[in-house]
Amino acid sequence: MMIQLSTWQRAGLIQALGAVRGNVATLRLGLETLEVVEFTNAERAEIEYVEADGQASWSEAGAQRVWKIELGKRDARFAAGAVDRFEEWKAKDAPKVFDLLERLQRIEKGADGE
């Protein structure tokens, strides 16, 4: 299914997936999911995406950008778990995090909500 994410949500999801720890099977699934949501070089250039000292930043135009990402149920379930377990979220960003988690859970449950 298609998911629409703001640049902040996409970058946060990338960060949460990048922090996943576990056995080899978990790491494989994490890497596969990360490859789906990670910014391409062209996308990074488009929004002037920069990472420095563990912080990501992007242009004002990038902040307004909405990304359409195709995620299957398995990847959405894994990503939702990573978002849920990630411990670096800030309270001020809670609405964006909750929205991201809800979007992932909708895919995981299917379009009909099952």
Question: How does pLDDT run across 29-46, given as a tens digit for each residue?
Answer: 999 999 999 999 999 999
pTM > 0.85? yes
Rounded CA-CA distance 100/10 in Å is: 9
Domain boundaries, the chain: 2-109
* Per-residue pLDDT tens over the stretch 71-107: 999 999 999 999 999 999 999 999 999 999 999 999 9
Q: Which residues contact 82 (CB under 8 A, 6 or more apart)?
A: 13, 16, 17, 19, 20, 30, 33
Higher-scoring residue by pLDDT: 108, 16: 16
Binned at pLDDT 50, 70 and 90, residue 114 comes out as: very low
Give the chain's mean pLDDT: 93
